[in-house]
Structures are given as structure tokens and as C-alpha cells.
Amino acid sequence: MKKVSFCIWLTMLPALILGSQGSPACDYNAKDIDNAWIRVPWTNGGYYYHNTLTRDDQDKPPNCVSGNCKWSWDN
């Protein structure tokens, strides 16, 4: 039984080490997140919105988290 628990421990070790470093999304402030939004065209027309920092995708224009956005999605 000790072999099994040792193998499980070895399997989980990378996740425990890498998981303790925190999420990179926590390192961004609201302005960084707002500035990272881009509008991406669909091949069949229309657009979706992608955040290059958080990797979030959404069909509707994003909310302005910082309160100081100068997006012009109408053009």
C-alpha cells in the first residue's frame, strides 16, 4: 500500500508546487484587464470579444471594470 500512496504523491507533486504560485490573473489591475479587450470578427459576420490577459471570450461588449474605458466598438 505504501507504493500506491507514494505514486499518488509523486503524481500530485507538480500540481502542488505550481498551484502554490497563485493565479496570474490576480497580478492584473482593472485598467490592464480593460485595455486587453479586443474585438474579433466571426467568419460568418458579427464579432465576439476576447481578453488577451484573462483569455475570456464573450459575445456582448465587455463591461468597463476600471470606469475609464475609451472603446469604440461601433466602427
Is residue 16 included in any domain, yes or no?
Answer: no
pLDDT at residue 3 is higher than 60: no
Reported as a single tens digit per residue, the pLDDT across 23-75 is 554 678 999 999 999 999 999 999 999 999 999 999 999 999 999 998 888 75
Is residue 35 included in any domain, yes or no?
Answer: yes
What pTM value is reported for the model? 0.61
pLDDT of amino acid 25: 47
Is residue 1 included in any domain, yes or no?
Answer: no
3-state secondary structure the chain: CHHHHHHHHHHHHHHHHHHCCCCHHHHCCHHHHHHCEEEEECCCCCEEEEECCCCCEECCCCCCCCCCCCCCCCC
Is residue 48 included in any domain, yes or no?
Answer: yes
Nearest to 53 by CA among 75, 24, 15, 18: 24
pLDDT of amino acid 28: 84
CB atoms within 10 A of CB 62: 18
Domain total in the chain: 1
pLDDT of amino acid 30: 92
Domain that holds residue 49: 28-69
- The mean pLDDT value for 11-20 works out to 57
